[in-house]
Amino acid sequence: MNAVPSPKTAREARLPYAALLCVVFLWGAGPVVTKLITIPPATGSLLRFSISIPLLLVIVAATDRRISWPTMRAAAAPGAAFGINLVLVFAAVQEATVAVLVVAVSLQPAAILIIAGPMFGERATRSHVAWTIIAIAGASIVILGAGSELRTSPLGAVLSLTAVAMFTAYFVLTRAARLTTAVDPIEWMTAINVWAFVSIFPVALFMSDWSDLTALQGRDWFWLIVLSYFTGVLGHVLMSWAHGYVEASRSSLSMLLMNIVAVSLAWPVHNEPVTWVQGLGGIIALGAVAMVLRIPPAART
C-alpha cells in the first residue's frame, strides 16, 4: 500500500499550481490594464521596465542575492524577446480589441508544444497535429463570433501574432533555463528585465520624445505601476519559479485560462462583450488544446 503523503508534502506539491492560478489572473489582466494606458507603445514599455527594475534590484540586495554573469548571459535572448513582446502588446491593443489579442494568444500552447518538443528531444504525434487543427478551428469561431465587437486593422492582427511569437520564445527559453541550471527566479527575472529594457531603449529613443512623458496623466502612472509590479514583477517571478516544478504542457495550458480572464475583464472595463458563439468557440479551442497537451509526446530516437 502506498504511504499517504504528509499534509506538509501535499501542501508543498500544490504550491506551484497555486502560483500558476495567480499568474493566470495577473497575466490575464495584463492586456486589459495595458489598454488603459494612453501613451505610445515604446514609451509605455520603457517606463514599465524603468519602474520594475529598481524594485527587483532592491529585492535582490535585500535578500543577499547576486546576479552572476552566466545568469545575465543566459537571460539575454529571452529578455530581448520579452521586451519586444511588450512593445508589440502595447501597440496591438491600440489597433485591435483585447479579444483579438487573446485569440492569437490562445494558439500559444500548441505553438509551445511544437517548438519545445524538438528543443527537449521530443516530437509531435499525429494526434497532436489533429487536435491542434481543431483548436485553430475553435479560435476561428471565436473570431467570427465576435461580429461587430471584433475590431482590428491588418496591422493589429500582425502585431498580435508577432507578440505571441516573441512571448513564446521567452516562455520556452525560460523553461529551458529552469530545467538545465539552478536559476533563482528573482535573479532570473531581474536579468530578464534588464535585457528587455536594453532591447527596447533604442526603439523608444527613436519613436518617442519628451512630450510623450509630459502628456502622462495621474491614472496613466497608476496603471503603469499596477502593470509593472503586479502583472510584471509578481506574475513573472511566480511563473519563473513554477517552471522548475510544473511540466511545460501544464504551465502552457494555463495560458488559455489567462485568455478567459482577459476577455471577461475586457467586457466591463472596455465594453467588449462576449457573444455565445464566441463562448462556444472558446470551449472547442480550450478542449482541443487540452487534448493536445495531455497526450504524452513521443520520444525521438
Say how far apart CA 80 and CA 191 lie, in whole Å: 11
> Average pLDDT, whole number, for the chain?
75
Tens of pLDDT along 65-91?
888 888 898 899 999 998 888 788 777
Confidence (pLDDT) at 124 = 62
Q: Cβ distance 34 to 264 under 8 Å?
A: no
Q: Which DSSP helix (H) or strand (E) runs through 122?
A: strand 122-123
Tell me if residue 259 falls in helix, strand or coil.
Answer: helix
Phi, then psi, of 244 in degrees rounded to 5: -80, -10
pLDDT of residue 150: 59
For 299, the 3-state DSSP assignment is strand
Cα–Cα distance, 141 to 137 (Å, whole number): 6
Instruction: Decide which of 254 and 88 is more confident.
Output: 88
Give the 3-state secondary structure of residue 146.
Answer: coil
Give 14's Cβ-side CA count (13 Å radius).
Answer: 8
pLDDT the model gives residue 47: 84
Rounded Cα distance, 283 and 149, in Å: 19
Residue 145 has a pLDDT of 66
Query: Which pLDDT does position 191 carry in this prediction?
Result: 92
Which range of 52-66, 174-188, 275-289 scores highest in mean pLDDT? It is 52-66
pLDDT, tens digit, 9 for 90 and up, residues 3-52: 444 444 555 557 877 888 788 888 888 878 877 877 776 777 788 888 88
**Residue whose C-alpha is closest to residue 266's, from 20, 30, 40, 41:** 30
State mean pLDDT over 207-219: 68
pLDDT of 28 reads 80
* Terminal CA-CA length for the chain: 36
Q: How far apart are CA 255 and CA 22, in angstroms?
A: 12
90-199-74 Cα angle (round to 5): 120
Nearest residue to 108 via CA among 89, 87, 80? 89
pLDDT > 70 in the chain, percent: 68
> CB-hemisphere CA count at 13 Å for 144?
8
Angle in degrees, 0-180, between the axes of helices 276-294 and 248-270, rounded to the nearest 10: 170
Structure confidence at residue 213 as a pLDDT band (50, 70, 90): low
Instruction: Say if CB 180 and CB 243 are below 8 A apart.
Output: no
Distance CA 235, CA 19 (A): 9
Max CA-CA distance within the chain? 70
Residue 130 has pLDDT above 80, yes or no: no
pLDDT of residue 265: 80
